[in-house]
Structure 1
Amino acid sequence: MLRTILSAALLFAAALAQASSLESIQRNGTIVIGVRDSSPPFSVLDPQTRALKGYDIEFAQGIAKRLNVKPVFKTLESNDRLPWLKQNKVDIVVAVLSRTPEREKEIDFSVGYFVTDTRILAKKGRFKSDKDLVGAYLAAANASTGAKLLRQSFPKTKLAEFDDVPEMVKALQADIVEGVVDDAPVLAIALNKIPEAQRSRYALSDFALALEIYGVGIPKGEKALQTAINNALLEMEKSGEALAIFNRWFGPNSSAPIQRIFTINPSRN
């Protein structure tokens, strides 16, 4: 009998430890969202206000609004994103998280809310084609798709992993690495932050290494939550809010002007 009671208690505890469902999120009135604080223009901590801001932050706020709950942000590093979801430290992750087949084995994703490509920031003329990658010493963020891309598709490169883009750019300027691999808008921001006297020495590669689709990370099997988030994103597109957010962070007057090559839709983009 005691063994049966203990088994039942363990099963109950395991059930409580499972990822937060849509019902429990709405019952609590809050949604805990994992975000970055050093990935401009997607998410950054404002040094004056100490508030988070950026493309990802506004989408996270839009999702919470449509779920009728309060967003609670928890900052994390790139390599925390999947573990924190699986360990129930956060309800969802909105943190420049690219959708990949490998990640989809561990977590679920929303429809894509941002589409871009992966490029290289380096000295002008260093990387004219992917043939120039052979033997190159490149930097990428820890646990990023850029790092995985280099390992899997460009094994003849040498890789150094860093915690964030500013560290990688410092290594590039110090000639420790030959290039920084990340998504184009992130690198455009980084390039604009290099002092003007040195900026002309650097440029983004003309060729792309891969296409990236960002999605909201959701605990595996939480279909109701996934559907609610997809509906929220689709409503943001339909209302024009998604385009307004894009223009605020990537429009002609932004610090990383790029063309919007996508719309948020029910397909996988």
Structure 2
Amino acid sequence: MTLKKGAYVALALPLMLAVSSAKADLLSDIKTRGELKCGVYSDVPPFSSPDPQTRQLVGMDVDLCHALGKQMGVKVVLMPTSVEARIAVIATGRADVLIANLAYTKTRGKQIQFSDPYYVAKEMLLVKQANGNKTLEEFKGKRISATKGTTSEQSIHLKGGKAVTFQDAASAFLALQQNKVVGFVTNTMTGIKMISQARKDGIELAMIKEPMALEPIGVGMKRDEPALLASVNASLKTMDNEGVIDHIWETWIGPKTEYKMVREERVQPLSSLKFEPLE
């Protein structure tokens, strides 16, 4: 009897492992249910926010979710989340993928896995117009403002500046306008918008050409899901080659929008980018 029981356990163990392995294959689950749960911001325009008329979520990330689902052959269910909770929706399995202007950092790379980036965001230094032709080297040791606890703040330390932090971007930006600091760091898109706003107030600002830091933006997924990662990467590459990502970009943040962003990088492996990841 003992031998038969042992034999039963021995035979059952591979089956149990197989079932466990199957459950761990998130891509198979997605294909079986026929839907991709895609995490997006609940209200962060132009990435994902409610349309004033329909109250449905619209934006760049929303369109990317639907394009990804179409490429993978499944329908999309949007899972709204906040900036603070966006990593958690993946870690807890509430969403299968996360498309929320998500930049790769060392910390996030340990929590979730990232797709190949579909664009590279840049932390940029805004200065008064008179300093516009200077290099980043000339700002070493100088007071530079940023929002507290952000990658913008990290980039100041990375480049040897003296970080002066504030609880919100508006206060950090005001410090530059009032000459309390020599520069203010934010992402390119926000920087362009703030320069335009300052010009309306009679203040001429400029953006130093060299980035403070590079932030590859990709799709977030649960770790140890190689099949899903491969499928998302292949889908992004096809979307890039067929101009789908370009069209979405032009619609929401391109040169003809208020953000005036030009897409420079293509979908490529994270390992091919030469950059120093932020924490």
Per the normalisation by structure 1, the TM-score is 0.75
What is aligned with 1:172? 173
Partners of 1:204 and 1:51 lie apart in 2 by 35
What is aligned with 1:3? none
Q: Is the 8 A contact 1:61 1:71 kept in 2?
A: yes
What is aligned with 2:234? 231
Cα offset, 1:126, TM superposition: 6.4
What is aligned with 2:193? 189
1:221 and 2:221 correspond: no
| Aligned mate of 2:249, from 240, 246, 261 | 246
Q: Is the 8 A contact 1:86 1:219 kept in 2?
A: yes
What is aligned with 1:209? 212
What is aligned with 2:154? 148
Q: CA RMSD in A?
A: 3.4
Unaligned runs of 5+ in 2: 1-15, 274-279
Partners of 2:101 and 2:155 lie apart in 1 by 16
Are residues 125 and 148 of structure 1, via their aligned partners in 2, closer, same or farther at CA, if it must alter by over 3 Å? same
Per the normalisation by structure 2, the TM-score is 0.73
What is aligned with 2:57? 52
What is aligned with 1:87? 92
Q: Is the 8 A contact 1:133 1:157 kept in 2?
A: no
Are residues 150 and 28 of structure 1, via their aligned partners in 2, closer, same or farther at CA, if it must alter by over 3 Å? farther
Alignment of 1:108-123 (within 5 A): 108-121=113-126, 123=128
SS in 2 for 1:93: strand
Cα offset, 1:116, TM superposition: 3.2
What is aligned with 2:264? 261
Higher alpha-carbon Rg: 2
SS in 1 for 2:84: helix
What is aligned with 1:158? 164
Deviations 1:43-100 (CA, angstroms, capped at 9, x unpaired): 3433333233332222111111122223222333333232332222322111111123
Amino-acid identity (%): 26
SS in 1 for 2:201: helix
Partners of 1:19 and 1:81 lie apart in 2 by 21
Amino acid at match of 2:187: D
Q: Is the 8 A contact 1:121 1:202 kept in 2?
A: yes
Are residues 188 and 152 of structure 1, via their aligned partners in 2, closer, same or farther at CA, if it must alter by over 3 Å? same
Unaligned runs of 5+ in 1: 1-10, 163-167
Deviations 1:206-249 (CA, angstroms, capped at 9, x unpaired): 43201221111111011111111111111111212122222223
SS in 2 for 1:72: strand
Are residues 45 and 86 of structure 1, via their aligned partners in 2, closer, same or farther at CA, if it must alter by over 3 Å? same
